[in-house]
Structure 1
Amino acid sequence: MDLPAQLSSLLPAGAVLTGDDMSAYLQDWWGRQTGSALFVTLPKTTEDVAAIVRACANAGHAIVPQGGRTGLTGAGVPGAGDRPPVILSLSRMRSIRKIDAINGSIDVDAGCVLSDVQSAAIAADRLFPVSLGAEGSCQIGGIISTNAGGTNVLRYGTTRENVLGLEVVLPDGMIWNGMKALRKDNSGYALRHMFIGAEGTLGIVTGAVLKLHSLPKAHATAWVGVSDRELALRLLNRLQSCCGERLTTFELMNAEQLASVIAHRPVVASPADAAWHLLIELADMSAPEFLSEMLLAALGAAMNAGEILDAVIAQNGIQRDNFWALRHGTADANRNVGHLLPADISVPVSAVPQFLNTASAAVRNRFPGAQIVVVSHMGDGNVHFGVRFSHRDWSSHDDPGGTEVAVRTIMNDCADALGGSFTAEHGIGRKLADELRTRSDEAGYQSMQRLKKVFDPHGTMNPGCVLREHDQLS
């Protein structure tokens, strides 16, 4: 019996896709990365996943785990090599297993969509704080496997800091049950951290215990215009001093990026006229009037000090939603306006203005006709720096691959010079595996190779992702 037939006999009806039925699973969200697969599997339970992994291991077939396919570095998209892998999509594993509001935890399947988990938490008067533009389609297993960041890292940390326990199917098909909802547990190695950010290369996350927080009862949200990024940094320092942990959001965007969003979604207008824009939000359990007065006082002092040009505080939920629509509209706008070469950079918060200055100058010197679009989680030092070409200019490039490498090199060299990272929240995937090898400390890279060898000795788990396939230790 061939492998598809074998798995069809083990799994629920319709859980094995072949031929044209696989097409939706063979490319990323941008439509730029495509690959091939033997077939696609759609398990419904952890035991189904284990059965698939065991069968593939016995047959010597590689597996590419797949979440919502919203990643930007190709971790969930199969390569185009001579031996197509089996795709294992977790999209049918969507159960909310348990909510413990008093403990502040929620147990979920890895295929749960992030927005569904957020809604389940709110129904229990709690908050799951990881929030990103793709939250309506990305899946919990995917955000764990990439250690996703988003717009709330300033206050709540990355996904890693909001995971208490995991359930993982290992490369031989064994199931590791680490679904503990504990804040303190020193019983040996913290194995969950091996799988958070591993992008499916060490095992397949099938379940998670996530940390919940108190649900804020009030928000104060403002859209602020500033003349330059140094003044934005000064405002951040002011707000942290006067508002403390109530400051949950401090997002920076340049005028070019904002114009792209408005052109793509003309129903939403710009609240301010400035070279740089900030989305700022406070949240806590206070009365709304208290937060608004606190934010108004801070922005008033900043205005008097010449740090800001203009500020609009949201007067109701609709206006707040409109501000957030401008921020969350960047991804769709960038996908539809020109050809964007994006970078996901992290530098110390204090170095964000310097990075923007040096990177912008280097890009304009090399590619004077390109447009620079910036959106930054400035409060945590993450900069999404995009170099955009018109479709006409891009189609006329003699060496588009060389241009992409040149842009990436400029960005990453500027980040390195400031003690930064070439990937902040998007992970490595297949796209940046060479970059990881080139820019890693040798001892660190060899340690990753050894770890991969211990967990996945036959190299069947998402080969070519994170570590280059030919770097697998023999």
Structure 2
Amino acid sequence: MSPIADPPVAEPDAAVAVLRARLAAAGVAPSVLVTDADILEPHLRDWRGWHRGEGLALARPRSVPDVQAILSACHDLGLPVVPQGGNSSMCGASVPASGRPPAVVLSLSALDRIRHVDAPGWNLVAEAGCTLGAVQAAARAAGRHFGLDLGARDTARIGGLVSTNAGGMGVLRYGAMRDQVLGLEVVLADGTLWNGLRALRKDNSGFDLKQLFIGTEGTHGVVTAACLRLHPPETSAASLLLALPDLAAANRVAEIALRRGGRALSALELVPGLGLALAAQVLGGPLPMPENHAWNVLLHLAGEEPVEGLAEAIASAALEGGAAVDGVLAQSGAQEARLWALRDAFSEAHRLLGLSFRFDLAVPVGRITELAEALMPPVLRLAPGARFFVFGHLGDGNLHVSIAQPEGADAASFAALRPAIESLVHEMVWRMGGTISAEHGIGQLHREEIALQKPAEELALMRAVKGMLDPKGILNPGQLLPD
């Protein structure tokens, strides 16, 4: 099978002029297409500052027909298109890939309506530009709960969450984004609209086509709306932070929490003392406990029935059995919000560490602490004094590992160790039956490593699907699939 070719290179000014004419003929307002460099620049660089590509123009459609017209014209002209939501991608998937021809950045931010909420049907339809926070608020207003949650809830948008199959802190109870999606509305590469906004819980009438667009990072089509599953409201909640005697004790706390918490347990987080200290610097204010222990577990329980007793039972069992040495059970909404604000601040806290290499790893459930302990000695042999910022989701096997430069070390010297450290980490994860991308996606950051993780037959199937849906290769070129 021949590889998918990059879109042909066109002279930028001429390409934009033809594109403008095509859009005008389709009735798209002139203001939808922007070429001002100052406006375009923020859309070309990812929020971490790791990736920057070249932009031909910024398209800001106001409706689904606008999206159709833009993709139809770009398809005919052979112009690359990069779909973009909140531009909070962790792997550079939401900006043009570096070293590629200039692309049209397609911002879905103006498609931000909650089209309808069907409380009796336990679903709502949200456009791609809706933030996660807006969807959560719409669900609450209808006496329902939306299961996905993550720290970037006020910037991450539904289209991006679908296209990356986002995870977050509620996966243990509700599943990842894939599990929240009942149906999708998608514009294909040539401008064709597929309306798959079905609210069915059971539909065994053929291929589940929506799965072609979930987790494929905008390389198969542009999600314009999603029908999302809703859940019973969380009218009772409790949060508990337990300090551990050592890292291995996290497994014992997880066992206690999973057994006693049952369906009420919605989050089970491994939290390092380093992360709490850094987050407290970012946010200001005190640490949760007088002594900041090296390892902690943060739990959240919620449901329609009271859960405080479950939290107390988990705390008692962990403390009495020696799995925990101290703990804090939030006594108010403010205290609970503070605990989770500290956890949410972990991404921002990285900036205090200087240069760091960050990994989004997953291993089979129960092997998180094994992975963390196994990684540290060989990394320290390569980079003596390196600092480890390790946290993650104990309930689903997802471990976030950041390896930061030693205090006072030269960043350039540490940067030179990146290939060796990445190779070591990835090989260890693969040996444990894991993956190098648990919830952040592949983007342009990991597209070459994925060739080492997946067998050739699997990559060939992925390329075949991509070639069928986007034969000209205009959608997000340089992302997800390796050359």
Using structure 2 for the length normalisation, give the TM-score: 0.93
Find the counterpart in structure 1 of residue 200 from structure 2. Answer: 182
- Structure 1 residues 395 and 81: alpha-carbon distance in aligned structure 2, compared to 1, 3 A threshold: same
Query: How big is the shift at 1:230?
Result: 1.9
Find the counterpart in structure 2 of residue 2 from structure 1. Answer: 18
Query: Equivalent of 1:246, from 264, 270, 284?
Result: 264
1:360 aligns with 2:376: yes
CA distance in 1, matches of 2:28, 2:84: 18
Q: Percent identity?
A: 37
Residue by residue, what CA displacement relative to the aligned partner does 1:228-285 show, whole Å, maximum 9, x if unpaired?
2221111111121122111111111222222211222222423253110111111111
Query: Equivalent of 2:213, from 183, 195, 198?
Result: 195
SS at match of 1:433: coil
Q: What count of residue pairs does the alignment treat as equivalent?
A: 464
Query: How big is the shift at 1:392?
Result: 5.7
Find the counterpart in structure 1 of residue 471 from structure 2. Answer: 457
CA distance in 1, matches of 2:87, 2:421: 24
Residue by residue, what CA displacement relative to the aligned partner does 1:404-432 show, whole Å, maximum 9, x if unpaired?
22222222112111111110000000111
Residue by residue, what CA displacement relative to the aligned partner does 1:54-106 show, whole Å, maximum 9, x if unpaired?
00011111111111111111111102335211110101100000100111101
Find the counterpart in structure 2 of residue 273 from structure 1. Answer: 292
SS at match of 1:249: strand
SS at match of 1:407: helix
Specify the code of the residue in structure 2 equivalent to 1:324.
Answer: W
Query: How big is the shift at 1:348?
Result: 1.1
1:347 aligns with 2:363: yes
Specify the code of the residue in structure 2 equivalent to 1:11.
Answer: V
Find the counterpart in structure 2 of residue 261 from structure 1. Answer: 279
SS at match of 2:296: strand
Residue by residue, what CA displacement relative to the aligned partner does 1:445-470 show, whole Å, maximum 9, x if unpaired?
111111111111111111111113xx
Query: Equivalent of 1:233, from 251, 265, 286?
Result: 251
Query: How big is the shift at 1:196?
Result: 0.2
Q: How does 1:366-445 map to 2 (within 5 A)?
A: 366-389=382-405, 393-397=409-413, 400=415, 402-445=416-459
CA distance in 2, matches of 1:72, 1:414: 22
SS at match of 1:210: strand
- Structure 1 residues 322 and 451: alpha-carbon distance in aligned structure 2, compared to 1, 3 A threshold: same
SS at match of 2:464: helix
Find the counterpart in structure 1 of residue 102 from structure 2. Answer: 84
Specify the code of the residue in structure 2 equivalent to 1:417.
Answer: R
Specify the code of the residue in structure 1 equivalent to 2:360.
Answer: D
Residue by residue, what CA displacement relative to the aligned partner does 1:41-65 show, whole Å, maximum 9, x if unpaired?
0001111101000000111111111
Mean CA deviation greater in 273-282 or 123-132 = 273-282
Using structure 1 for the length normalisation, give the TM-score: 0.95
Query: Equivalent of 1:216, from 218, 227, 234?
Result: 234
Query: Equivalent of 2:312, from 285, 296, 307?
Result: 296
Specify the code of the residue in structure 1 equivalent to 2:344.
Answer: H
CA distance in 2, matches of 1:450, 1:65: 21
Residue by residue, what CA displacement relative to the aligned partner does 1:162-205 show, whole Å, maximum 9, x if unpaired?
10000000111100000000100111100001100000001100
Query: How big is the shift at 1:318?
Result: 0.4
CA distance in 2, matches of 1:27, 1:393: 27
Residue by residue, what CA displacement relative to the aligned partner does 1:337-375 show, whole Å, maximum 9, x if unpaired?
312211000011211111001111221111112110011
CA distance in 2, matches of 1:259, 1:303: 23
- Structure 1 residues 8 and 227: alpha-carbon distance in aligned structure 2, compared to 1, 3 A threshold: farther
Query: Equivalent of 1:20, from 29, 35, 38?
Result: 38
Find the counterpart in structure 1 of residue 162 from structure 2. Answer: 144
CA distance in 2, matches of 1:462, 1:186: 31
Contact 2:355-2:411 at 8 Å conserved across structures? no
Specify the code of the residue in structure 2 equivalent to 1:67.
Answer: G
Contact 1:247-1:283 at 8 Å conserved across structures? yes
Contact 1:274-1:309 at 8 Å conserved across structures? no
CA distance in 1, matches of 2:409, 2:29: 49
Q: What CA RMSD, in Å, does the superposition of the two structures yield over aligned residues?
A: 1.5
Find the counterpart in structure 2 of residue 52 from structure 1. Answer: 70
CA distance in 2, matches of 1:311, 1:175: 53
CA distance in 2, matches of 1:349, 1:82: 39
CA distance in 1, matches of 2:245, 2:23: 60
SS at match of 2:47: coil
- Structure 1 residues 360 and 391: alpha-carbon distance in aligned structure 2, compared to 1, 3 A threshold: closer
Runs of 4+ in structure 1 over 4 Å off: none
Contact 1:4-1:39 at 8 Å conserved across structures? no
SS at match of 2:465: helix
Specify the code of the residue in structure 1 equivalent to 2:294.
Answer: A
Specify the code of the residue in structure 2 equivalent to 1:440.
Answer: K
